[in-house]
A and B are shown apart, each in its own frame.
Chain A
Amino acid sequence: MVEKQYIELFEQYREEVDKHSAEGMNRLRDAALETFKRTGFPTTKHEEYRHSNIAHAFDADLGLNLRNIPVKVSPYDAFKCNVPNLNTHLCFLVNDRFYGKVRQGELHKREQLSKIKPDYYDKLKQEEPLPEGVFAGSLRAFSEKYPEQFEAHYGKIADYTGNGTVAYNTLFAQDGFVVYVPKNVTVEKPLQLVNILRGGVDLNVNRRNLIIAEENARVKLLVCDHAVDDVHFVVTQVTEIAAEASSQVDLYELEENSTKVTRLNNLFCEQQERSVVHVTGITLHNGFTRNNYRFKLLGEHADVHAGGLAICDKKQHVDNFVFVEHTVPRCTSNELFKTVLQEEATGVFRGRILVEKDAQQTLAYQVNRNLVMSDKARMFAQPQLEIYADDVKCSHGLTTGHLDEEARFYMQARGISAEEAQLMLMVAFTRDVVDMIRIPALQERLVHLIDKRFRGEFTRCGNCEICM
């Protein structure tokens, strides 16, 4: 049993784990351990994981940085991660630890930076502070500064008693990232969190994110995932979003990892009345990815827009699982997930929509389109609608197919080569998912990156294309 070594490790080193974590994180560990012992990691025997064996990823000799030994990382390495033209508040996580911004750092680092990257240094100098009361930083600092907020949300949204991967994350997570936006505050400039994976040995990293938008608060967050070193990483990430009444939260995640990275992502979002949440996950380059998105609509007139795009070749694997729960009347959910598979890649989409008995006048839409470019690529797709209310509008559309040959011929008939036409059509296929992103500069950049991705101009993340 693959879980045994991790349970033993935890029991043996619990003190170390606790010592380097925020106090509040430790309080959930008993319950998480109990769940993990009971459920273990999901395997292909679990219906919802039929095509993605999670346990398998852990069946390896992985290191865990339980003692919080600092990972060598130089800020200017990290600064590779910056979407040009995208003016953001920038933060970093190195593996699972929050990396203090350079502008808050020591003087010599600033000087160093001013020499190495003068442009960036100038930009930092000009950077305006976050609005009053907004917190963007480490979980630990947050738990000390806002203990009540931390208590009220951490581990309250993520279901760590039912899901083995989430339980495992809750067991080992020691730090992470928090965005907290108080009532009536709008953060105009998007926040950008860059997750950097560094390590000299194969590593397991367990990361937490917590996003709290209080009543009528607005915030946009871009999260970029990058593996810098050429070792195996198994990353669990749990993100909790509390979108309170009339708040607006945008979360865009961009994965650009090497083929040696396993990303096990669990996002839990709870929405109160009239809140609007946009979540779009783009897998530009990866190894093995499982994204679980779970949205609970708890207040009337709440809207959620969930988008996903996966571009895979080689033996890459992306499994997107979306579960939207309509528990109250008059909410809207809108899903658009697309996959492009080349070579021997595998894609999975499962979209579950649950409309409870009282959730009348629900609008729930789900679209899943998949493009399979090779005979050896495989796509598994399954919609799952459970509707217990009688006055609802729900629809789902699912197609998996090849490139539109007529469109390609039409383009060729205008002089465009077959290869170029194919590329343009693949980029076009991704367009409507990109359009769901409400940061125009990021949209533009993504179109460019997707084009490069299809042209095979970058095949691994080493020099971080998004981040120059």
Chain B
Amino acid sequence: MLKIKNLHAIVEGKEILKGINLEVAPGEIHAIMGPNGSGKSTLASVLAGNPKYEVTRGNITFKGKDLLEMAPEERACGGLFLSFQYPVEIPGVSMVNFMRASINAQRKYRGETPISASEFLKMMRDKRELLGMDSQLVSRSVNEGFSGGEKKKNEIFQMAMLNPLLSILDETDSGLDIDALRVVAEGVNRLQTKENATIVITHYQRLLEYIKPHRVHVLYDGKIVKSGDPELALELERRGYDWIVNL
């Protein structure tokens, strides 16, 4: 589904990604771990198409298409979803309008008619309940005045609404208390099928107790320095990152 080859990327003239190679197949969950500043969030941003990052070398294919040629909205419409590490507040745009616009943009891209009002409302209610979100939250402006935890829940809520093929969860666990973490993880697990895939970017092993990855990768200084089975995450938790860095 996703193939990353020798990816190099810079931000503000500084090279952050220095040759990433990664393949993700349908049905898989990959965890990317690594210390602060190793390039985890940059990788997520590059995949989503954030214009602040410039790819200097390498290529990415998504469902066989050249991802780097696609605008951010095309990537989203093609089924790529980024759960933002820092969800953006958008005063004046209600969650309802935001979600309706997103869903209809994606439906339009697939050549489908806009969603009916009743279907949309039912979907909003169902997904909100899945995440245990307050009905008040979805009637407010996007992320405005949301607590840190509410913002993260809201990301997974959007993911549930949009039903993506490939989800990238960028530090979705940070800022969540243990109960919220469980709710979010359950949401992610329920959305996981044989057809879609998830990349979980995290600093700690904690989230991986709830979301079981098939593969764990360690990112350090812009490269994946080690890949392994889920045992690797536990080992990292025990020994820290130093032992890998010093390999």
Residues of A within 8 A of B48 (CB): 413
- Given known contacts A417-B105, A424-B97, A424-B101, is B72 in contact with A412 (CB within 8 Å)? yes
Within the complex, the shortest CB–CB distance from A76 to chain B, in Å, comes to 35
CA distance A409 to B92 in the complex (A): 16
Q: Does B115 contact A (CB under 8 A)?
A: no
Q: Does B87 contact A (CB under 8 A)?
A: yes
A413 & B105 in contact (Cβ 8 Å cutoff): no
Residues of A within 8 A of B76 (CB): 412-415
Interface residues of A in 422-460 (CB under 8 A from B): 424-425, 427-432
Within the complex, the shortest CB–CB distance from B155 to chain A, in Å, comes to 10
Q: Does A464 contact B (CB under 8 A)?
A: no
A424 & B162 in contact (Cβ 8 Å cutoff): no
Which of B81, B87, B92, B101 contacts A416, CB < 8 Å?
B101
CA distance A428 to B95 in the complex (A): 12
Which of A407, A414, A431, A432 has the most chain B CB within a 10 Å cutoff?
Answer: A414
Within the complex, the shortest CB–CB distance from B174 to chain A, in Å, comes to 18
Q: How would residues 89 to 107 of chain B score, 1 for a CB under 8 Å from any chain A CB and 0 otherwise? A: 1111100011001110110
When C-beta atoms are compared, the residue in chain B nearest to A423 turns out to be: B101
Which of B49, B89, B162 contacts A412, CB < 8 Å?
B49
Q: Does A418 contact B (CB under 8 A)?
A: yes
CA distance A406 to B86 in the complex (A): 10
Which of A411, A424, A425, A432 has the most chain B CB within a 10 Å cutoff?
Answer: A411
Interface size class of A (residues with CB under 8 A): 20 to 34
Residues of A within 8 A of B106 (CB): 415
B73 & A412 in contact (Cβ 8 Å cutoff): yes
CA distance A431 to B144 in the complex (A): 14
- Given known contacts A412-B76, A413-B76, is B49 in contact with A407 (CB within 8 Å)? no
CA distance A404 to B90 in the complex (A): 9
Residues of A within 8 A of B51 (CB): 405, 409
Interface residues of A in 372-418 (CB under 8 A from B): 404-407, 409-418
CA distance A430 to B88 in the complex (A): 18
Which of A405, A411, A420, A432 contacts B90, CB < 8 Å?
A411
CA distance A429 to B71 in the complex (A): 24
Within the complex, the shortest CB–CB distance from B34 to chain A, in Å, comes to 22
Q: Does B82 contact A (CB under 8 A)?
A: yes
Which of B75, B77, B93, B103 contacts A424, CB < 8 Å?
B93
Within the complex, the shortest CB–CB distance from B197 to chain A, in Å, comes to 17
Q: How would residues 39 to 82 of chain B score, 1 for a CB under 8 Å from any chain A CB and 0 otherwise? A: 00000000011110000000000000000000111011100011
- Given known contacts A412-B49, A414-B102, is B90 in contact with A428 (CB within 8 Å)? yes
CA distance A412 to B73 in the complex (A): 5
When C-beta atoms are compared, the residue in chain B nearest to A430 turns out to be: B92
When C-beta atoms are compared, the residue in chain A nearest to B93 turns out to be: A428
CA distance A98 to B141 in the complex (A): 43
A414 & B162 in contact (Cβ 8 Å cutoff): yes
When C-beta atoms are compared, the residue in chain A nearest to B101 turns out to be: A416
Within the complex, the shortest CB–CB distance from A339 to chain B, in Å, comes to 15
- Given known contacts A413-B48, A414-B76, is B71 in contact with A428 (CB within 8 Å)? no
Residues of B within 8 A of A404 (CB): 88, 90
When C-beta atoms are compared, the residue in chain A nearest to B86 turns out to be: A406
CA distance A417 to B82 in the complex (A): 16
CA distance A428 to B141 in the complex (A): 9
Hey, which bits of chain B sit against chain A, CB under 8 A?
Answer: 48-51, 71-73, 75-77, 81-82, 84, 87-93, 97-98, 101-103, 105-106, 109, 141-142, 158, 162
In the assembled complex, 8 residue pairs joining A and B whose CB atoms fall closer than 8 Å, in A order, are A407-B88, A410-B88, A410-B90, A413-B82, A415-B76, A415-B109, A418-B73, A431-B92
Closest CB pairs A-B (n = 7): A428-B92, A431-B92, A415-B76, A414-B102, A412-B72, A410-B88, A415-B105
What 16 additional pairs, Cβ within 8 angstroms, besides A420-B105, A425-B93?
Answer: A404-B88, A411-B98, A412-B71, A413-B48, A413-B49, A413-B73, A413-B82, A414-B98, A416-B102, A424-B93, A424-B97, A425-B92, A428-B91, A429-B92, A431-B91, A431-B92
